Structure formats: structure tokens, C-alpha cells
Amino acid sequence: MNTQVIVLNGGSSSGKTGISRCLQAILPTPWITLGVDDLVARLPPSLTASGSGIAIGERGEVEVGAEFRRIESAWTAGIAAMARAGARVIIDDVFLGGGASQERTRGRLAGLEVLWAGVRCEAETAAARELARGDRVVGMAAAQADSVHEGVVYDVEVDSAKSEALDCARAIAALVN
């Protein structure tokens, strides 16, 4: 079976978006990129200002509530439906719960051919990128750099602090069938 979904997991500012763009450029067939940032950007204000949705603390800590999890589940089910209908999808995600997050995602993508890719980036490099971006709460990147990978099993891991996005994408693309 051919790869239908690529899941990129890494902390904030780890380079997932750049890698996904490079994957879109080098893979021989069209791929759609959807990420957790897309989901969060489309949430109603009621879910970004309440305990049931998603909240970002002063030091970059992220807290999610039951309503966010419900919507996230529907979002991922929708992505899975797209893949089942023939779209190839790259998911740009942040597994806040490490292995537990992967298991939730794995369950929603059941029956699909998924390539799991870890995007590692040392905390200092991610923090510098975060500061340069200017659109993140300072501290988020360092807090997530290692924790999002705890208990997660990958088919491939890349290090965006040591390799350019294109080289990371090439390593991932080499496993896409």
C-alpha cells in the first residue's frame, strides 16, 4: 500500500512547516498540508478564552480542555476521511501528550498507511527561532522541544537544528512509497 499520510511531530518552532513545504515540492504526487496551527486559528474565541478550549500561559505552556479534544478528534477524523478519499496529507502536529497523543492520532488514522516522522530541534535553536518569529509566546519552543517526543515511536527522525529543511524532507521522502 502507498503512504497516504505523513505525520510530522515536533515542538513549536522545530521546523515542521518548512519541512512540509519542502516535502510538497519534492514528492512526485500532490500532498496537502494541514496542521494543528490551522485548527487553532479557526477556533471560535469562546474556545481560546475558556478552560474547555485551549489556553497558552505566560511561559508558553499549553493547556487543552475537553471541548478542544472533541473538536480535535473531529478534525483528525476529517483529515482521515480526506486520505481515505484519495488525498495525500501531511499532518503538522505537536503531540503535547507525547505517546498518548500519538495513540489518539493512530486510532483516528486506523486503516491508513501512515509514515510517522519526528522533527527534533534542540531547545536553544527552537527558542531562537521562536524569538525571531515573533508570533509565539516566549518559552513554548523550549518547553516542547523534548516533551512532545516522549513515548512516541517514529519511522524516521530528523534534526532540523543540524540539517536544512530540504535535507530533512529528503530523509522523510525516501521512506514514502
Do the strands 62-64 and 54-56 form a parallel or antiparallel pair, or are they unpaired? Answer: antiparallel
3-state secondary structure of 49: coil
Q: Given 37, 146, 155, 167, which residue is catalytic?
A: 37
Cβ atoms of residues 140 and 62 within 8 Å = yes
Q: Could you confirm whether 37 is annotated as catalytic?
A: yes
If one counts every other C-beta atom within 10 angstroms of the C-beta of residue 41, the result is 9
| Grid cell in block for residue 86 | 484519495
Cell numbers found for residue 14: 522545530
The distance of Cα 83 from the centroid of its chain, to the nearest Å, equals 17
Q: What are phi and psi of 115, to 5 degrees?
A: -105, 120
**Helix, strand, or coil here: 117?**
strand
What is the set of active-site residues?
37
